[in-house]
Amino acid sequence: MIHIVTDTTCGIPLPDLEAAGISFVPQIITFGDTAYRDDFELTTEMFLEKLKAAKTLPGTAAPPPALYQPIYEKHLAAGDTILVITPSEKVSGTFRSATVAAEEFKTDRIHVLDSKTIAGGFGSLVLQAKAWADAGMEIEEIKHQVAAMASRERVFFLVPTLEYLHKGGRIGKASKLIGTLLQIKPILTVTDGMVDTYDKVRTFKQAMATIEQIDYEIGKDNPDAHLTISHCGAEEEALKLASALGERLNSNHIPIYLVPPAIVVHAGPGVLSTSIFARA
């Protein structure tokens, strides 16, 4: 059996991961000298309340290798092969932690794969990997298919301010936008695992319309689009976008995920994003 392991930055609700038989580890959120796991110790709602009261921005840390070890021990003892899928190595130390933990076991039955993305698209890769494993696909073929699928992802997102991305060091090539937000509303994307600028428009309404049209063009007549919407503090906008795209794409179910705390730390409250996969 191939067992899939992920972490909270995939955005999939934790009860859904548990129901699917997918193991996960948390990210670590720090407020001052106090650290919290962002699985069951600190929900997004709890995080936002703490953020309002905080005098300085919180920090994040990748899950320490020790959190992976019990999962590895359990599933190696059961005779499983383990596939750990992590968020982009360029924005998170999770890949490194999972790899360090795996090295302790000196086995070729633990595989660690960088998804090169984060949030909704990362979640889609995890769920698809689980489906392929359940269908009996071999480990090397799953790794190949996940990497190929990841290369087809198109992610677009909006943030009310670039302050969080800038201060958290996650702004990537979008750094050139600093100081221009009064004149534009940037549509951001992820290129090779890093934040980049996709387009610049004048208003939030224009930005939403642009994202809707892009996702429609990619998603029409595309049965493997795996469109998802993620947000924190932008539920009304997420619902409107899901409704519009659902009608245009004739889709009854576009998942809407709540962005987990470890991403909100760097993107900021009010973030809204879509992930969709182009045709192979």
Tell me, yes or no, whether 191 and 169 share the same domain: yes
- Look at the chain and report how many structural domains it folds into: 2
Q: How far apart are CA 166 and CA 171, in angstroms?
A: 5
- Asked, for residue 42, whether it belongs to a domain, the answer is no
Taking the CA atoms of 76, 62, 18 and 38 in sequence, report the sign of the dihedral they define: positive
Tell me, yes or no, whether 75 and 90 share the same domain: yes
Q: What is the pLDDT of residue 231?
A: 94
Of 160, 131, 158, nearest to 146 (Cα)? Answer: 131
Q: In whole angstroms, how far apart are CA 144 and each of 129, 212, 229?
A: 10, 30, 25
Tell me, yes or no, whether 188 and 235 share the same domain: yes
Domain boundary among 150, 179, 205: 150
Tell me, yes or no, whether 87 and 159 share the same domain: no
Instruction: List Cβ neighbours of 69 (8 Å cut-off, separation of 6 or more).
Output: 101, 104
**Residues counted in the chain:** 280
- Which residue is it, tokens 């998802």? 228
- Asked, for residue 246, whether it belongs to a domain, the answer is yes
* Residue 133, phi then psi, degrees to nearest 5: -65, -45
Whether 173 has a pLDDT exceeding 50, the answer reads no
Q: What is the pLDDT of residue 175?
A: 43
Q: What is the pLDDT of residue 174?
A: 42
Which secondary-structure segment (H or E) carries 242? Answer: helix 235-249
The two three-digit tokens of residue 110, written as one number: 């633990």
| Structural domain range at position 252 | 153-277
Domain boundary among 150, 181, 198: 150
Question: What is the number of other CB atoms lying within 10 angstroms of the CB of residue 268?
Answer: 22
Tell me, yes or no, whether 80 and 130 share the same domain: yes
Burial class (CB in 10 A: 0-12, 13-18, 19+), 266: buried
Instruction: Write out the DSSP string of 117-141.
Output: --THHHHHHHHHHHHHHHTT--HHH
Tell me the pTM.
0.90
Q: What is the pLDDT of residue 198?
A: 87
Alpha-helical (H) ranges within 84-234 are 94-103, 120-134, 139-150, 163-167, 204-219
Q: What is the pLDDT of residue 277?
A: 97
pLDDT class of 154 with cuts at 50, 70, 90: very high
Whether 178 has a pLDDT exceeding 60, the answer reads no
Lowest-pLDDT range of 28-32, 41-45, 250-254: 41-45
* Residue 85, phi then psi, degrees to nearest 5: -110, 125
- Which residue is it, tokens 């899928």? 85
Q: How far apart are CA 257 and CA 278, in angstroms?
A: 20
Tell me, yes or no, whether 20 and 119 share the same domain: yes
Comparing 134 with 189, the larger pLDDT belongs to 134
Read off the pLDDT of residues 72-129 as tens digits, 9 standing for 90 and up: 999 999 999 999 999 999 888 999 999 999 999 999 999 999 999 988 999 999 999 9
Read off the pLDDT of residues 191-244 as tens digits, 9 standing for 90 and up: 877 778 888 888 889 999 999 999 999 999 999 999 999 999 899 999 999 999
Q: What is the pLDDT of residue 197?
A: 81
Question: What angle separates helix 139-150 from helix 120-134, to the nearest 10 degrees?
Answer: 150
Q: What is the pLDDT of residue 164?
A: 54
Tell me, yes or no, whether 12 and 95 share the same domain: yes
Question: What is the number of other CB atoms lying within 10 angstroms of the CB of residue 262?
Answer: 28
CATH, residue 243: 3.30.1180.10
Q: What is the pLDDT of residue 162?
A: 67
pLDDT class of 179 with cuts at 50, 70, 90: very low
Q: What is the pLDDT of residue 163?
A: 64
Domain boundary among 127, 150, 173: 150
Where does residue 213 fall: left (phi above 0), alpha (psi -120 to 50 degrees), or beta otherwise? alpha
Whether 63 has a pLDDT exceeding 50, the answer reads yes
Q: What is the pLDDT of residue 170?
A: 46
- Asked, for residue 73, whether it belongs to a domain, the answer is yes
Q: What is the pLDDT of residue 91?
A: 84
Comparing 280 with 96, the larger pLDDT belongs to 96
Tell me, yes or no, whether 11 and 86 share the same domain: yes
Read off the pLDDT of residues 254-266 as tens digits, 9 standing for 90 and up: 999 999 898 888 8
Tell me, yes or no, whether 116 and 218 share the same domain: no
CATH, residue 104: 3.40.50.10170
Tell me, yes or no, whether 146 and 164 share the same domain: no
Three-class secondary structure of residue 40 per DSSP: coil
- Asked, for residue 12, whether it belongs to a domain, the answer is yes
Q: What is the pLDDT of residue 96?
A: 97
Whether 16 has a pLDDT exceeding 80, the answer reads yes
